[in-house]
């Protein structure tokens, strides 16, 4: 277990159980609020008279902010306890939603999205790191966190629609209240001490933590999961409505993918037991090829359902096993930096995948074909994983050598 201050006993089962409930309480409130904002913000922007082109810029601002925030988290985690990131995230999201609940000027949207991007970065990286430090099993802790997050993301849009039918800005003010409520359990979490600062003169291991064995694979997994989410949230609803599905049906189909992602997260521990290379191959192939199937063959509807179910399950495996693999690949002191590092890859791919798909649309017949090609591209890391030799050159680390891929697979599954 990681070090804590004198007020927290990490070996006290009752304290850890209480911390688990507090974390999940903050998780469900934050997830619902974030999902509400994600639905309402673009609709409110259109209603406020901003152009469609500006909507894309507004959404991109949040992705850029999230990426920049994650880039600095590794260093900040050596100065601040992880619970402070969770608490700060609730305040940032509450401020973001409250601002748009009062003003729909363009400046308000830009500032709100900057705050919301940082909130997502701080909350998810902070909460992932926190539950890993408070649990003996990283993959089990992350699976629970992701399942609760997914439930919140299913409740949020429905709640936003219900309140938004009366007033979109009131829906955002409600989201702000939920985010503020999440602050209370966040403050009450165990106070884990900041991670020790990493020596600049350490030898035997890469300066960039994502290059270390295990962390590099985890970075690939989270990048694929981010690319899947970026396409799912941008072009898939457009594709489904273009082929004749109504907006409610298209929304239901996207919900199928999100539910399958919950299932993948819940089932990830069994997949992880086969080793990280197998989990990477299954998750990446499922996320990419399932998305390609749904995009290339949007009719009949059962093919879309199967494709989205496969892709969602694959993405759920990636977003759970990836951070667990990163945490288990390094020492306790480096866990925060490892999780923050791979989170940056997810943020970048969330931004890059819709842009890449948009570029493909310029040279292929339709958005469906472009998304299908993007899905195939997403799945290509599977081939790299399967074709990579079982053993690689050993790199000394503090007087020892890294395990080979085969040795590491065995270590990770035990």
What are the pLDDT digits (tens) for 289-301?
999 999 999 889 9
Position 63 scores a pLDDT of 80
Residue 115: closest CA among 94, 135, 136, 131? 94
Lowest average pLDDT, out of 26-40, 116-130, 147-161, goes to 147-161
- Which CA distances in Å does 323 have to 149, 160, 227, 327, 404? 15, 30, 16, 6, 20
Summarize pLDDT for 59-84 with one digit per residue, the tens.
778 888 888 888 878 778 888 888 99
Summarize pLDDT for 180-215 with one digit per residue, the tens.
999 999 999 998 888 776 655 544 455 577 778 788
In angstroms, rounded to a whole number, what is the distance separating the alpha carbons of residues 157 and 217? 33
DSSP 77: T
Q: Which of 40-44, 113-117, 228-232, 386-390 has the highest mean pLDDT?
A: 113-117
Summarize pLDDT for 340-357 with one digit per residue, the tens.
788 788 888 888 888 888
- Ramachandran angles phi, psi of 401, nearest 5°: -120, 150
The per-residue b/e assignment along 146-181, b for 16 or more CB within 10 angstroms, e otherwise, is bbbbbbbbbebbebbeebbeeebbebbbbbbebbbb
Summarize pLDDT for 97-106 with one digit per residue, the tens.
999 999 999 9
Go through the domains of the chain in sequence order and give each one's CATH number: 8-192 (1.20.1250.20), 208-389+396-414 (1.20.1250.20)
Model pTM score: 0.74
User: Residue 412 pLDDT > 80, yes or no?
Assistant: no
How does residue 366 score in pLDDT terms, banded at 50, 70 and 90? confident
Position 8 scores a pLDDT of 45
User: Residue 251 pLDDT > 50, yes or no?
Assistant: yes
Which class for 333: exposed (0-12), middle (13-18), buried (19 or more C-beta within 10 A)? Answer: middle
């Amino acid at each position: 277990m990681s070090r804590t201050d004198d007020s927290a006993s990490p070996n006290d089962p009752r304290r850890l159980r209480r911390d688990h409930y507090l974390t999940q309480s903050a998780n469900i409130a934050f997830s619902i609020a974030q999902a509400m904002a994600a639905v309402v913000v673009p609709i409110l922007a259109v209603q406020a008279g901003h152009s469609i082109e500006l909507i894309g810029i507004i959404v991109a601002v949040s992705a850029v902010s999230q990426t920049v925030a994650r880039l600095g988290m590794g260093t900040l985690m050596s100065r601040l306890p992880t619970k402070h990131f969770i608490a700060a995230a609730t305040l940032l999201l509450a401020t973001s939603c409250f601002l748009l609940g009062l003003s729909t000027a363009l400046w308000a949207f830009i500032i709100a999205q900057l705050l919301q991007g940082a909130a997502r970065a701080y909350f998810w990286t902070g909460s992932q790191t926190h539950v890993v430090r408070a649990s003996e099993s990283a993959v089990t802790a992350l699976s629970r966190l992701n399942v609760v997050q997914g439930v919140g993301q299913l409740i949020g849009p429905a709640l936003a629609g219900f309140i938004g039918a009366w007033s979109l800005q009131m829906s955002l003010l409600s989201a702000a209240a939920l985010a503020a409520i999440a602050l209370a359990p966040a403050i009450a979490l165990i106070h884990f001490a900041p991670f020790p600062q990493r020596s600049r003169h350490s030898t035997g291991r890469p300066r960039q933590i994502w290059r270390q064995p295990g962390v590099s694979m985890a970075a690939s997994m989270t990048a694929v999961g981010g690319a899947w989410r970026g396409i799912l949230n941008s072009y898939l609803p457009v594709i489904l409505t273009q082929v004749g599905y109504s907006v409610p049906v298209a929304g239901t189909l996207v919900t199928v993918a999100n539910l399958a992602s919950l299932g993948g997260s819940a089932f990830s521990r069994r997949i992880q037991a086969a080793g990280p290379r197998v989990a990477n191959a299954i998750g990446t192939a499922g996320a990419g090829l399932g998305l390609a199937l749904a995009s290339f063959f949007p009719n009949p509807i059962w093919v879309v359902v199967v494709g989205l179910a496969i892709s969602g399950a694959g993405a759920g495996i990636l977003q759970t096993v990836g951070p667990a693999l990163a945490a288990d690949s390094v020492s306790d002191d480096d866990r925060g930096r490892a999780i923050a590092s791979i989170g940056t890859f997810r943020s970048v791919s969330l931004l890059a995948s819709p842009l890449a798909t948009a570029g493909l649309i310029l040279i292929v017949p339709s958005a469906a074909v472009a998304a299908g090609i993007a899905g195939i591209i997403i799945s290509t890391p599977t081939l790299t994983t399967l074709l990579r030799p079982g053993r690689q050159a050993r790199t000394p680390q503090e007087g020892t050598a890294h395990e080979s891929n085969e040795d590491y697979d065995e270590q990770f599954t035990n």
